[in-house]
Every structure is written in C-alpha cells, then in structure tokens.
Structure 1
Amino acid sequence: MALGGNPIFNGKNFRGATQAPPVPQAYGQNQYGQNSYGQGGYGQTPVMDAPGWAAQQNMTQDQLQQMYNRPAAGPAETGRMTYDDVIVRTAACLGAVMAGAAVTLFVSMPLASMLMIVGALGGFVLALVNTFKKQPSPALILAYAGLEGLFLGGLTRILDGMFPGVGLQAVIGTLSVFAVTLLLFRSGKVRATPKAMRFFMIAMIGYAVFALVNMVMVWTGAVQSPFGLSTSIQIFGIPLGVFIGILAIGLAAFSLIMDFTSIEAGVRAGAPERFSWTAAFGLTVTLVWLYVEIIRLLSILRGEE
C-alpha cells in the first residue's frame, strides 16, 4: 500500500491478513486444498501411523482420483477478502445511503432540513468511530451510510429547489468521476505513489484550512453568501469556489485511487473477509465527499448564470 494511504485504512493495514481461519477441508487435503495422502515434507516418507492412513488405504481407485482432481481452495473458500466481497458490501452501503436520502423526499421541508443536520452530525461521529475501530462493524458502517443518506438527501433537496436539476447532475458527475478513476487505476496510468501522496497531504491541509475559515465566517455572519468566501471572492471574474471546487474534486478522485490501492493490497495479502467492510466503508466515505463537492461546484456555477 502506498505510503500514507487512505486514513480509513491506516492503523489497520489489513494486519492479521494471513490469519483468516481455514475452512474445514476434506480428509486428505491440507489448508491450501492440496492432497497430502499422509505424506510429510519433501524428501520424507509417508507416515504410516498418521491419522486416516488406514482409511486412505481402504479407498477405491475412483475415490482417490476424485480427491486428487479436486481443485485447490480459493480465497472465498478460505475466508479471505475478494473483489466480489468488496463490491457486494459497497453496494449494501450505497443502498443504505439511497434509503436514507429517500426518507427526506417524503417529509416536509423543515423536517428534511432537521434530518439533514442529524445525518451530518451522526454521520461525522460514526465516521470517526468506524475509522478508529480496529475491527470493522457491519452494523455501524451501514448506520453511517444511512445517516449520510439523510444528510445528502436534505442537502440535495435544498439545492435542487434553488437550482432545479442540480441533484441529478451531481449524481451523474459522481458516477462519471468514479468510472474514469477506476479505469485509469486499472490501466496502471494513475497510482498512489509516495510523491503523489505528499502533494495530496499538502493540498488536503490547505483545503481543510480554507473550509474551516469559510465555515466560521458563514456562521458568524461575516459573509452573507450561503457559500461564504466561495462566491464572495472572485478571481478574473470567476468565483473562488470554482477553483476550490475543482481542487476538492481532484482530491476526492485521488482518494478513490488510494481506496483502490488499499483494496488491491488487501486482496493480494489475503486479508480476512471481514475487512471487505472496511474497504466498502472507505469507498462510501470518499463517494459521499465527492458528491458533496460536485453538487457544491454545480450550485456555484448555476448561481453565476
């Protein structure tokens, strides 16, 4: 895994990846699905008094041949993480996000706004809990996804009321960025190298400082615009928020690269299957962040029309 990595995976680093409990194998096979037939290591003679030796002698030729032809146990059979596991868990998390968002569509606007605040605060707390929790908890991860759904649903309803169609545009934009990023990663053209990681960390610190200052100025009323400094300051006639939004989307896209890198490292290391929930959680956090940045950028652009 690249130095630094996604903070969600840091501290875990798929430790214990080689300690997944082996599943019971048919007699005559070791934990890797290979047939031993009572044999010791290379250059050693069969152990005649090994358990089951006599039973093996009573097997017919067909039974022995069937045992020999049996395929070796794969990752799924040995309780290790696979890409399919990650896909299924991620789909479950995104389903929870969509369910939470759907709730805000069927309630009054004031209630939707309140649910948005509850989702934002609750999602933030559970994000911290899941990030620092050593072992992934499917229930807490799904609860996080549901709360983020409330937040995204309320936010989308507010902004879509101001700029009709911006919600659908943000969904399409998020899926497009995800697809392009995945294709670039799979092609090997983009990787989370140490040099790229250092740039990412510097840019993240700068973005975090701007976001904090901007939030304080909006809350204190120092800036009247709902987007704060993002729209009140312009550079060459272009709102500052456009430049910040493009930077933030780029950072979120690179965070996806780090997620993919961590997942690839976990599968290769034979991480226990339970860590597929950690991978799904990391992807969900990044996709939520990416969606928020895209819908914010689109709203700023629509507001300048």
Structure 2
Amino acid sequence: MKSNNPIFSRSEEFSRPTTNQYGNQTYAGGAPTVGFGEPGSAYPAGSPTHTTGQGAGLMTIDSVVQKTAIALGVVMLTAAATWIMTPDIANLEAAGTLYAALTIGGLGAFALSMVNSFKRVISPPLVLLFCVFEGVALGAFSKVIDASFSTADSGNLVVQAVLGTFAAFAGTLAAYKVFDIKVGNKFRMFVIAAVFGMVGLSIMELILGMFSSSLGLFGFGALGMVFALVGLVLGVFMLILDFDFVEQGIANQLPEAESWRAAFAITVALVWIYTNLLRLLAMFNSD
C-alpha cells in the first residue's frame, strides 16, 4: 500500500508491493510475512499471539487506542496546566504572558509536527513532546477565547468545543464504518493538498501580521469564518484518512510501533477540528 499522506508515507512499513505464495504481503525490501500455520511460522494456526521477526508485537486497534489516549491525555493535561498557571487577562502584561505561551507552543508544535510527519522511523518521545507544545498552545488559546467571548448566555465555549470535537470524531468514525467509506487516491491527494495549502496560507498570514498587513484569515470577520469552516471540514477529512490508514495498517500487519504514528495523526486531526470549532463558536457569540 502506497500512501499520499505525508505522515504515513514516510513509514516504509506502509509500502508492501509484493505477496508471497500464501497471499501475505511483504515489507518493502524485506522478507515476506509468515502467516499463522505456514511453514516457518513460530505460531501454529489458531495461536492467539503473533509477533514480527524482531519480537515486536503487531499494530492492533487496542494499541492505536492506547497510544492515542496517551497522546490526547498529554495534550489535555498540558493545556489544563497552562490554563491554571497563566494569569487571567486583566492587563497588558497578563495578556502578553498568554500570547507568549500561545506563540511558543504553536511554533514548537508546528516544528515537531513537520519532524514527525516526515520522519521515517516514528519516535514516541518526539510525538509526546509535540503533544506538550500543542497542549501549551491550546491552553493559552482556549483561555484567550474564553475570556473574550464566553458569557452567561453563551455558556463555556471551551467545553462546547471539546464536546463538539469528540462528537465529530464519533460521528466520523460511525459514518466511516456504517457507510463503508473507501478512500481513493484522488481523495487523499485532494485532502493533503488542501491541508498544505491551508498551512501555507497560515504561515503567510503570520508573516503579514508581523507587518500589520494581515488578510484576516485568523480574524473574526467573514473571511475568518470561511477559513475556519474550511479548516473544520478538512479536519473531518483528515480523520477519514487516519481511519483508513489504521485499517490498512492493521491488515498489513504493521509493527506495534506504528501505532504511535497513527496516534500522532489522529491527535493532529482532532486538534485541527477543535481549534477551528472554537473559533467558529467565538464568532457566533461575538457582538
């Protein structure tokens, strides 16, 4: 299977162009995978456990869920710590502290997301470090939005965004399974191209903002709303790609270490959905 997703395509394990005489796919440049009960297998047919030649376990739904839970747990704990440890927006100095945390966390998360996306051998420590920086950025961003837009009438926008994000995850997963969604190459290429396009526009917006000449993509006007809506839809599309790659990876008997790559990709998609959903909620509740 050849992936157009940069997060997964850097893994050699996701490319297995040939099969052995038993119909099992082989690793790129490696030996064929030996199935249950086949000659040379260390486990007879019906054995409940199967490992790779290096002794590592295989990627499963359970391993992906566990690694994703760890990654999201780090993000949420770091975000909560950032919220608690940073001052409320009461003056320019307090606001400066929050925006500094948002900037440092955002830049660190972006740099590590690029490293993790294009790294051939996934590194769990780098994935968790990304989660730490992402949590700092999300904690600061959420606190700014809450202080600026949450009211007694609107309720807590951060809680609404969190619930909406998990609802989007559950809804997308249900649609993926119930409607048996098949991901084609054209869809993959479109989503990845659109994501990189949005990243490029975001970088351009940040640079223009340094010279007080932004386009308003991060603002709360009409253009900002369109940008957030497109980002929200792309986040859902990213989840569909992630579900497909996890399903294909399990079918291809990838090593358990690749569960961290899947967890990283799912975390990125959920963060993408959360930030855009929180922005939209803020816009709907702005005067």
TM-score for the superposition, normalised by structure 1: 0.73
Change in 2 beyond 3 A, CA 1:193/1:103: same
* Equivalent pair of 2:108/2:130 in contact (CA under 8 Å): yes
Following superposition, the deviation at residue 202 of structure 1 comes to: 5.0
TM superposition shift of 1:213:
4.1
Work out whether 1:8 is the aligned partner of 2:7: yes
Mind listing any 5+ residue stretches in structure 1 that lack a counterpart?
A: 23-28, 36-70, 232-238
Distance 1:172 1:107, change over 3 A: same
**For this pair of structures, how many residues does the alignment match?**
255
Where 1:272 maps in the other structure, the secondary structure is coil
Partner residue in 1 for 2:175: 184
Q: 1:284 and 2:274 equivalent?
A: no
Change (3 A) 1:251 1:80: same
Partner of 1:80: 58
* Partner residue in 1 for 2:227: 244
**Higher relative contact order by CA 8 Å / sep ≥ 6: 1 or 2?**
1
Q: Where in structure 2 are there 5+ consecutive unaligned residues? A: 17-25, 34-38, 88-93, 151-155
Describe the shift of the 1:90–1:153 C-alpha distance in structure 2 as closer, same or farther (beyond 3 A): same
Structure showing greater radius of gyration is 1
Instruction: Please name the residue that 1:257 is paired with.
Output: 240
The C-alpha deviation readout for 1:144-177, integer Å capped at 9, x for no partner, is 1111111100000011000112211111111111
The structure-2 alpha-carbon separation of the partners of 1:282 and 1:122, relative to structure 1 and needing over 3 Å to count, comes to same
User: Aligned partners of 1:156, 1:32: CA distance in 2, in Å?
Assistant: 51
Give distance in 1, aligned partners of 2:44 and 2:215: 70
1:275–1:225 Cα change, 3 Å: closer
Match of 1:103 among 81, 106, 125: 81
- Relative to 1, partners in 2 of residues 1:114 and 1:94: Cα closer, same or farther, differing over 3 Å? same
Identity of aligned residues (%): 32
SS for the counterpart of 2:85 is coil
2:69 aligns with: 91
Letter in 2 for 1:74: T
Using structure 2 for the length normalisation, give the TM-score.
Answer: 0.78
Question: CA shift at 1:72, angstroms?
Answer: 1.3
What is the match of residue 41 of structure 2? 31
Matched, 1:296 2:282: no
Is residue 216–residue 224 contact of structure 2 (8 Å, CA) maintained in 1? Answer: no
Q: What is the alpha-carbon distance in structure 2 between the residues aligned to residue 189 and residue 267 of structure 1?
A: 17
- Residue 206 of structure 1 deviates from its aligned partner by 4.8
Residue from 136, 147, 154 that aligns with 2:122: 136
Aligned CA distance change for structure 1 residues 178 and 139 (closer, same or farther; 3 Å): same
RMSD of aligned alpha carbons: 3.0
Contact 2:116 2:126 in 1 (8 A): yes
